[in-house]
Amino acid sequence: GAVVSQHPSWVICKSGTSVKIECRSLDFQATTMFWYRQFPKQSLMLMATSNEGSKATYEQGVEKDKFLINHASLTLSTLTVTSAHPEDSSFYICSARDFIGTSGIDTQYFGPGTRLTVL
Protein backbone atom coordinates (compact mmCIF):
# COMPACT_ATOMS: atom_id res chain seq x y z
CA GLY A 1 0.00 0.00 0.00
CA ALA A 2 0.92 3.67 -0.26
CA VAL A 3 3.35 4.96 2.38
CA VAL A 4 3.43 8.43 3.89
CA SER A 5 6.20 9.52 6.23
CA GLN A 6 6.28 12.39 8.67
CA HIS A 7 9.21 14.02 10.41
CA PRO A 8 9.79 14.58 13.23
CA SER A 9 7.65 12.04 15.09
CA TRP A 10 7.73 14.19 18.20
CA VAL A 11 9.08 17.60 19.14
CA ILE A 12 9.28 19.69 22.28
CA CYS A 13 9.87 23.40 21.92
CA LYS A 14 9.76 26.60 23.90
CA SER A 15 6.88 29.04 23.62
CA GLY A 16 7.49 31.58 20.87
CA THR A 17 9.63 29.37 18.65
CA SER A 18 8.69 27.92 15.26
CA VAL A 19 8.47 24.26 14.37
CA LYS A 20 8.51 22.71 10.90
CA ILE A 21 6.89 19.35 10.19
CA GLU A 22 7.55 17.48 6.95
CA CYS A 23 5.17 15.11 5.19
CA ARG A 24 6.38 12.91 2.35
CA SER A 25 4.64 10.44 0.07
CA LEU A 26 7.28 7.76 -0.43
CA ASP A 27 6.02 5.62 -3.29
CA PHE A 28 3.47 7.78 -5.07
CA GLN A 29 2.97 11.36 -6.17
CA ALA A 30 0.42 13.38 -4.26
CA THR A 31 -0.90 16.55 -5.82
CA THR A 32 -3.04 17.01 -2.73
CA MET A 33 -2.05 16.61 0.90
CA PHE A 34 -4.10 17.35 3.98
CA TRP A 35 -3.06 18.53 7.44
CA TYR A 36 -5.06 17.48 10.49
CA ARG A 37 -4.84 18.18 14.18
CA GLN A 38 -6.05 15.81 16.86
CA PHE A 39 -6.45 16.56 20.55
CA PRO A 40 -6.59 13.71 23.08
CA LYS A 41 -9.71 11.55 22.81
CA GLN A 42 -11.03 13.67 19.96
CA SER A 43 -11.34 13.05 16.26
CA LEU A 44 -9.22 14.46 13.49
CA MET A 45 -9.92 18.06 12.58
CA LEU A 46 -8.91 19.18 9.11
CA MET A 47 -6.72 22.25 9.23
CA ALA A 48 -5.89 22.82 5.60
CA THR A 49 -5.68 21.31 2.15
CA SER A 50 -2.32 21.60 0.46
CA ASN A 51 -2.10 21.58 -3.33
CA GLU A 52 1.21 21.23 -5.12
CA GLY A 53 2.31 24.49 -6.67
CA SER A 54 -0.49 26.62 -5.25
CA LYS A 55 -1.61 28.17 -2.00
CA ALA A 56 -3.14 26.03 0.68
CA THR A 57 -6.83 26.21 1.47
CA TYR A 58 -7.43 26.70 5.18
CA GLU A 59 -10.46 25.61 7.16
CA GLN A 60 -12.50 28.19 9.01
CA GLY A 61 -10.86 29.21 12.25
CA VAL A 62 -7.35 28.13 11.25
CA GLU A 63 -4.89 31.03 11.06
CA LYS A 64 -2.95 30.83 7.82
CA ASP A 65 -0.23 33.16 9.13
CA LYS A 66 0.33 30.92 12.11
CA PHE A 67 0.24 27.59 10.32
CA LEU A 68 2.33 28.04 7.18
CA ILE A 69 1.95 25.32 4.57
CA ASN A 70 4.22 24.78 1.61
CA HIS A 71 3.70 22.06 -1.00
CA ALA A 72 6.74 22.54 -3.19
CA SER A 73 6.81 19.15 -4.87
CA LEU A 74 4.57 16.20 -5.62
CA THR A 75 6.02 14.26 -2.70
CA LEU A 76 6.60 16.87 -0.01
CA SER A 77 4.43 19.22 2.02
CA THR A 78 5.56 21.12 5.11
CA LEU A 79 3.62 22.64 7.98
CA THR A 80 5.36 25.33 10.03
CA VAL A 81 3.82 26.29 13.35
CA THR A 82 5.04 29.84 13.91
CA SER A 83 5.40 31.43 17.33
CA ALA A 84 4.12 28.29 18.99
CA HIS A 85 2.22 28.50 22.27
CA PRO A 86 1.21 25.80 24.75
CA GLU A 87 -2.31 25.67 23.28
CA ASP A 88 -0.76 24.56 19.98
CA SER A 89 0.39 21.34 21.67
CA SER A 90 -1.35 18.56 19.78
CA PHE A 91 -0.95 15.57 17.49
CA TYR A 92 -0.48 16.78 13.92
CA ILE A 93 -1.17 14.29 11.14
CA CYS A 94 -0.75 14.68 7.42
CA SER A 95 -2.35 12.60 4.72
CA ALA A 96 -1.67 12.31 1.03
CA ARG A 97 -4.28 11.70 -1.60
CA ASP A 98 -3.51 8.73 -3.81
CA PHE A 99 -5.52 9.79 -6.84
CA ILE A 100 -4.15 7.33 -9.37
CA GLY A 101 -4.83 4.61 -6.89
CA THR A 102 -2.32 2.04 -5.78
CA SER A 103 -5.30 0.60 -3.91
CA GLY A 104 -7.58 0.98 -6.91
CA ILE A 105 -9.57 3.78 -5.31
CA ASP A 106 -9.12 7.45 -4.60
CA THR A 107 -8.25 7.56 -0.93
CA GLN A 108 -6.08 9.21 1.64
CA TYR A 109 -3.13 7.60 3.38
CA PHE A 110 -1.93 8.99 6.66
CA GLY A 111 1.51 9.72 7.97
CA PRO A 112 2.47 8.45 11.44
CA GLY A 113 1.83 11.84 13.02
CA THR A 114 3.93 14.39 14.91
CA ARG A 115 3.36 15.01 18.59
CA LEU A 116 4.12 18.64 19.38
CA THR A 117 4.58 19.82 22.95
CA VAL A 118 5.07 23.53 23.54
CA LEU A 119 6.46 24.44 26.94
Q: Which is nearer to another protein, 1 or 14 (CB)?
A: 1
User: Toward another protein, which CB reaches closer, 14 or 43?
Assistant: 43
Of 67 and 109, CB closest to another protein: 109
Residue by residue, DSSP assigns 76-104 as EEEEEE-S--GGG-EEEEEEEEESS-SSS
Instruction: Tell me whether strands 114-118 and 10-13 are parallel, antiparallel or unpaired.
Output: parallel
CA 78 to mean position of chain CA atoms: 7
Report CA 79 to chain centroid distance, whole Å. Answer: 6
From the CB of 16, what's the least distance to another protein, in Å?
27
Nearer to another protein, 84 or 93 (CB): 93
Among 36, 11, 44, 38, which Cα is nearest to 95's? 36
Which residues are near another protein by CB under 8 A?
Answer: 1, 6, 32, 34, 42-44, 46, 49, 51, 57, 91, 93, 97, 103, 105-113, 115
Cβ at position 13, least distance to another protein in Å: 19
Least Cβ distance, residue 118 to another protein (angstroms): 18
